[in-house]
Amino acid sequence: MEWLRTHKWLSAICGGLVCLLLLLSIVLGGDKEEKKPATASESLVFSKEETNEEHQKKEEAELPIVIDVKGSVQNPGIYTMKDGERIDDAINKAGGFTKNAEVAAVNLAQKVTDEMVVYVPSEGEKELTSIPVGGTDTEKSALININNAQSEELQKLNGVGPSKAEAIITYREENGPFKAPEDIMNVSGFGEKSFEKIKEQITV
C-alpha cells in the first residue's frame, strides 16, 4: 500500500493506457466494412453479357459458306458449306468425280471460302480448280492461280523451280490462301525482284 501511495502517478498512467486501447479498438472496429456480395440483379447483368458474347461468337462461326461446284462432278451446283470444310467435302456433296475427271488437278485439301467457284477439269483439259470472285473466266484462265496451282503449273512462272513451287504450296497450307498476288513475297525465296518477274502471270 505504501508503494502504491508513493507511485500514484504510475497507476494513473497505466489506467489511461488501458482506456486508450479500449477506445481505439472500438473506433477501429466500427470503421471496418464488410464486403457485400454481388446482388442478384448484378449477377444477372454479368450473366446476360457473357451469354450475348458467346451467342455472337457462335453465330459468326456458323455463318454459311456458299460455293459453286462445276465441271466433272456427278451433281454440279450450288452448295452450302461450313467454316473449315475443304474442297474434298464439296466434291463429296456434289456426288464425287465423274469417270473422266482430272482428279490430280484439284487441291482437295484447300479450305473453301464464301462465293468460291470449284471447277473440276476433265482429262486433258486445262487445269482450273477454283476461281475467286471478280474478273472474267478468260482473264483468269490466262493467269496461274497461286492459291490452287500445283507444283508443275507453278514451275511455269518465271524463275520458279521445284523448290520455290513447293515453298508456295507449303506456305498456303500453313497460312491459308493468298489474299493478293503481292502476298507471295511472304514466301521464303520471293522478294520484290522475284515478284516483278511473275506479277503479270499470277492471280488469286
Give per-residue pLDDT as tens, 88-112: 999 999 999 999 988 888 899 999 8
pLDDT of 135 reads 45
- Which DSSP helix (H) or strand (E) runs through 67? strand 65-71
C-alpha grid cell for residue 132?
A: 475467286
pLDDT of 56 reads 63
pLDDT of 93 reads 93
Strands 117-120 and 202-203: unpaired
Give the integer Cα–Cα distance in Å for 168 and 165. Answer: 5
Fold (topology level) of 143-204 = DNA polymerase; domain 1 (1.10.150)
Would you give the DSSP letter of residue 74?
A: S
Nearest one of 165, 162, 159, 161 to 146, comparing CA atoms: 165
Nearest one of 144, 148, 99, 143 to 119, comparing CA atoms: 148
Give the integer Cα–Cα distance in Å for 67 and 182. Answer: 25
pLDDT of 17 reads 73
Give per-residue pLDDT as tens, 29-47: 655 555 555 555 555 555 5
The three-state DSSP-derived secondary structure of 129-166 is CEECCCCCHHHHHCCEECCCCCHHHHCCCCCCCHHHHH
Nearest one of 116, 110, 131, 105 to 78, comparing CA atoms: 116
Close Cβ partners of 123 (under 8 Å, ≥ 6 residues apart): 100, 101, 102
Average pLDDT rounded to a whole number, residues 160-176: 90
- Do the beta carbons of residue 153 and residue 144 sit within 8 Å? yes
pLDDT of 136 reads 46
Average pLDDT rounded to a whole number, residues 3-25: 66
The pTM score is 0.38
